[in-house]
Structure formats: C-alpha cells, structure tokens
Amino acid sequence: MAASNYTSESIEVLTGLEPVRKRPGMYTDTASPNHLVMEVIDNSVDEALAGFAKEISVNLHKDFSVTVEDDGRGMPVDIHPEEKVPGVELIFSRLHAGAKFTNKEYTFSGGLHGVGVSVVNALSKKLKAEIKRDGKKFEISFANSLKKKELKEIDKVGQRNTGTKITFKPDESFFDTEKISAKSLSYSLRAKAVLCPGLKIKFKNEISGDKEEWCFVDGLGDYLSTELGEGTYVPGEPIIGEFNDDETALSWAVIWERGDRESINESYVNLIPTLQGGTHVSGMRTGITEAIKEFCDYRKLLPKGVKLTPDDVWKNCSYILSAKLKDPQFTGQTKEKLSSKDFQNIATSITKDSFSIWLNQETQAAEEIAFLCIENAQARARASQKVERKKITKGITLPGKLSDCVSSDFEETELFLVEGESAGGSAKQARNRNFQAVMSLKGKILNTWEVNTDSVTQSQEVKDIAMAVGLDPGCKELTGLRYGKICILADADTDGAHIATLICALFLKHFRPLVEKGHLFVAQPPLFRIDQGKDVFYALDEDEKDQIVKQLTKQNKVKKIEIQRFKGLGEMNPSQLRETTMQVDGRRLLKLTLEKGNTATSMMDKLLSKKRAADRKDWLETKGNLATLNE
C-alpha cells in the first residue's frame, strides 16, 4: 500500500537528461535504436540543407555502435555567453538546447525540439564527438549521459577542413533489442540522398561487410521511375512540380498506372520521412483532386451521374512528396506525421495551381488521366450495387491491412501472408490484383501450439488471419474458405523459417482441415541473384547457386559472374518479387500435405511445446550438425 504522508518531499525534480532516461518512450521509439541513429543523421542533413555539408558517412560497427560524420561547419566549441559551457557540451547534455528554434542558422531543418542528439546521449552507454573547426580538432566524450572528458583541442587541421564526427553505442537496456536494422537505415539514407540533390551519402555495414553510396542529381522523377520499374504509366514519365519561396519549398513527382499493382506513396518534411503522412499530403491530394475535377468539368468529360471522389483520383497514383518549411509541427518526437494546420491550405494552393497549368498544357495526357479516374468512379459505382467482397459471414469486416483481390473464384484466388510491413508493401505492388490478395504480418506471430482453440483469437494477429481466411479456429469443414491457396511468404533466412514454422503450426493446430485438403503452401523466394552479362538467374540456396555458377562458368569463362545475396524480401524490388515468387509461371510453391503416418504433429510438438525443452536439447545435440545456417 502507498505511503499516506504525501508532502513536498515526495516531489522529484528531474534535471539534465534524467527525464529521458526515466521515460525514454516519451522521447524516442524504444523498439530499436534506429531512431537514435536517424536523430544524429538528421543533424548532418540539416547542415546539408543549409548549404554547408556535401558529404555524410555512416558506419554501423559490429557491436551495434554507430559513427556519423559530415563535412559541415562543425558544432560550436566556443563558450555559451549565458550557460558558461562550450556549445557542443550544451547540445549533448541539455534538453531543448539547439540552433533551430529560430531561422537564423537553419532556414529549413528537421531538428526542431532541441532534444535530438541530447536524447541520443541520454540513451547511450558512451558517446564521443570530434569537431573540426577554425583550423583545430576538438574532442569531448560522455558515458551513460554524463560528461566523461572535457572538451579539449587534440590536433591542428586546415582552415577549410571542418565537420562533426559522432560515435555512440546505444544502451540496450532502454530498447526492445540492441540490433539496428541495416535495411531500414539504408532505405532512409537513400531517400535523403534523393531528396537533397548533390549530397553524397556513404553507408558501411561492418556486420555484413556491405558498402553503399548514393548521390542523386536528377531528383524525384528518376527516383519514382526507378522504384516503380516496368509498367504502363500515364503519362509516360512522372509529372514533376516544384515551388520555392523564403518560407516554404514543395516538390513532388506523380504518375498514374494502368495495372493491378499497389501504389508507391512516400512523403517527407525537411528530408524526414513522414510515414503517416500529414497536412502536406492532405494538401497535395486536395489540390490535385480539385485540379482534375475542374479540368473534367471544363472539358465536359464526366458522363451523366458520375462524380469523382479523391479515392477515384488517387487509386492508381504513385507519388513522392517533399516539403520544406521553417517551423513544422509534428505529432510526437518521432516526427512520422506533419500536423502544421496552415500548411495544408498552402500545399493545396501550390499543387492545384501548378497541376492545373500542366493539365491544360498537356491535354492529351491529361485526358488519359481523367478517363482513368472516371473508370475508377464507374467501377466504384458498379461495386456498390453488388455484395461487397470485403465481407465474411455475419457481416464481419475484414482486416484493414488485407489488400483483397478482385476475383471471387475460389479455384484461382490466393492469399499471401507476408512477413513484415516493408515486404508486405513490395508484395502488394508485385501481386496480380485480379486473383492475389496480400496481408502483411508484424514479424513473428504468437506461438499458438499450446494455446486453447477457444482463446487463440485473443491474439489480434491470429484473429486477422482467421477473418481473412474466412474460417473459425477449430473448424471441421471448409465452408467459408475464401481462397484456394493460402501462401506463407517469409524471408529466406533463419528468422523467416521461424516465422513460417509458427504460421504452419497455427494452421496445423487450429485449422487442420485446411492443411489436410492441401490448401496451405510455402512460397520459396530466392536467396541469390546471379548475373552474367544480360542473363539473370535466381538460386534458392547455396547448393543451387553453386550449380548455376559452375554451369555458367563452363559455358562462358570470359563473362564476369556477379552474385547478390538477398537479405530479405524487403530488399527485392516488386518486379523481382513478382518474377521469382508470385508470378504463377516462374515461382516455386511448396505444398504442405498430411499423409497417413505423418509425424508433423509430433515434430511440431517437440519444436514448439514449452514442456519439451529437454527433448529439444537432446535433439539439437544429436541432430544439430545437420543444420545448414544462412550467415
């Protein structure tokens, strides 16, 4: 029971970085240290946005420490007039200390709260900053958020040799995992290079040995075209728009596609990804929608009774949007959504005016876009007159993250259960929308092997799977099954195999008739891509790769052979995923069946039952040498 004498002595005053260490979830994403890395990188990118940095290097070390270096002006090392400590010490040791609250030093910047790198220091075991400025090199270091070594001059450098180098090791006790996702980091760095033309960004992953470098000069249009790959687009090249003044900058690339793939929708504010969109996205969508509607009205293109909605306009549209503004307001420190209310009207006005001019200059392409939007409106009207596909018995609405297919033909429909949100996005673009549905899963699902069938749907992920499939756990018949094939699609590594095993266990234990009738499949994405000249081959594993390389070498010893190892589904672009894993003609699907005398149930019990840990240990000791590990 709590003490009853609640007095002034009970009140704690947290100073310095104590609030961050006490409640880290209020300041950063505690799932992994990735957000800390991006806070440091964003500081360097702000120097590039201000025109002072031309190159940023990021190094992910084997112990999951990170080094970020730029050639900007270098953090201030002079004594702050009021606080009487060096500027760099103030930046790392005090919340809400920074140069971005006004626009004197940075016109546009991603760091606005003054808590970014101080949070990094607060949640790190150690941090060292090296600053090159005014012909001198300085160093200061911290341990567990406290200053370990005073700022001191350690070397002389050239007057033009300036910049900041920060090395830090996140404290794993504050995060769900100490591992930093190199895939996510690489994606973010590439996007920042695209959005800041001329900025060179280097990334070295010491864990895998990979090195990457990006420097784009052609901007958003080429990036969008590259990401989309081959397809039938309207117009043939993305429509580019750009606006700049002293207060605001807005640039975008948009294109429509005739096809079944999911769209690419990416938005950024001051080069920071806004995964949840925000007022800049809403403004652009409204502006372009109004421009198209006005164009249709002026040209009298709309059939009688047809009205365009924003969904009709944006159904087939892919876009990249980059906004820069002086004082953006975000929802939370992770900055995933722009909440600046005034900017929505500004973005609407800018995009509407610009797009209206383009529509009336490029009338042939404009009419093609208009007719595509009208077709969407007519299809929507027809669908509303039929029984909705996105319903199952008793009117239960299907999960929102399920991207359903058009066809209702049980014999041809397929549902892909995909590991991870990123891979799910690629799969949605790669699928044939007519008969392939996709639902992404958030990593490893619950181990349901020992969970009672009556309570298994208490897990939201399992409930979503059951609703999508159309069957209740423990069913005896397949009445209501919505797809002819249920396909498990996971990475071709050990983590992916674990996830696939958990999903197999779910169906074997709680939807056994579905397995017995042969409706469960495991998709087999390739682990390697082999290139020899213009010829491309894919290999499922090491043995198959070695066979292909041996055969190619025998056929042509002159041409160089290049081998790429896919780290995961998210690394494959949609066209590769479609060609190797989802396209009916070229894919490999492993059908899971239960035959008489099958030992799958006993094996699953040994692998997944908590009470059989001793059996697993014996099994690993006697059979472990037979395992093939994907490094």
Query: Residue 321: phi, psi to the nearest 5?
Result: -125, 130
pLDDT at 558: 76
Fold of 391-525+591-626: Rossmann fold (3.40.50)
**Cα radius of gyration (the chain):** 28
Instruction: Indicate the average pLDDT of the chain.
Output: 83
Measured CA to CA, the distance from residue 196 to residue 188 in angstroms comes to: 12
Q: Is 491 a catalytic residue?
A: yes
Number of C-beta neighbours around residue 256 at 10 A: 25
Measured CA to CA, the distance from residue 265 to residue 271 in angstroms comes to: 15
Query: Residue 211: phi, psi to the nearest 5?
Result: -130, 135
Q: Is 495 a catalytic residue?
A: yes
Mean pLDDT computed over 196-208: 90
Q: Check if the beta carbon of residue 66 is closer than 8 Å to that of residue 127.
A: no
Measured CA to CA, the distance from residue 120 to residue 113 in angstroms comes to: 13
pLDDT at 390: 40
Catalytic residue among 18, 172, 222, 495: 495
Torsion of CA 373, 378, 379, 384, to 10 degrees: 130
Catalytic residue among 493, 531, 541, 605: 493
For residue 600, the one-letter residue type is A
Measured CA to CA, the distance from residue 193 to residue 204 in angstroms comes to: 15
Between 103 and 487, residue with greater pLDDT: 487
CATH of 18-214 among 3.30.565.10, 3.40.50.2000, 3.20.20.80, 3.30.70.3280: 3.30.565.10
Q: Check if the beta carbon of residue 239 is closer than 8 Å to that of residue 310.
A: no
Q: In terms of C-beta density within 10 A (0-12 exposed, 13-18 middle, 19 or more buried), how is residue 390 classed?
A: exposed
What pTM was computed for the model? 0.49
pLDDT at 283: 93
Q: pLDDT, tens digit, for every residue of 109-130?
A: 444 333 578 889 999 999 999 9
Place of tokens 């995060």: 175
| Total length of the chain | 631
Residue 94: pLDDT above 50?
A: yes
Query: Residue 21: phi, psi to the nearest 5?
Result: -70, -30
Catalytic residue among 29, 491, 571, 579: 491
Per cent of the chain over pLDDT 70 is: 89
Angle between helices 363-384 and 341-361 (to 10 degrees): 120
Q: pLDDT, tens digit, for every residue of 245-302?
A: 877 889 999 999 887 677 889 898 877 788 888 999 999 999 999 999 999 999 888 8
Query: How do the domains of the chain map onto residue ranges?
Result: 18-214, 220-384, 391-525+591-626
Q: Is 46 a catalytic residue?
A: no
Please work out, in degrees rounded to the nearest 5, the angle formed at the alpha carbon of residue 443 by the alpha carbons of 507 and 116.
165
Residue 14: pLDDT above 50?
A: no
317 has which bridge partners?
A: 256
Candidate from 136-140, 179-183, 538-542, 597-601 with smallest mean pLDDT: 597-601
Between 454 and 395, residue with greater pLDDT: 454
Name the helix (H) or strand (E) containing 43. helix 34-49
Per cent of the chain over pLDDT 90 is: 31
pLDDT at 200: 92
Highest mean pLDDT: which range of 51-60, 322-331, 444-453: 51-60
Tokens read off for 267: 């938005």
Q: pLDDT, tens digit, for every residue of 146-199?
A: 989 999 999 999 999 999 999 999 999 998 888 999 988 998 898 888 888 888
Q: Check if the beta carbon of residue 60 is closer than 8 Å to that of residue 185.
A: yes
Q: pLDDT, tens digit, for every residue of 486-545?
A: 999 988 777 888 889 999 999 998 998 999 899 999 998 888 889 988 888 988 888 888
CATH of 220-384 among 3.30.70.260, 3.40.50.2300, 3.30.230.10, 2.40.50.220: 3.30.230.10
Please work out, in degrees rounded to the nearest 5, the angle formed at the alpha carbon of residue 77 by the alpha carbons of 156 and 329.
135
Q: pLDDT, tens digit, for every residue of 407-444?
A: 888 889 999 999 888 788 888 988 999 999 999 888 77
Between 454 and 67, residue with greater pLDDT: 67
pLDDT at 334: 60
- Which of 418, 413, 408, 461 is CA-nearest to residue 439? 418
Catalytic residue among 29, 89, 266, 419: 419
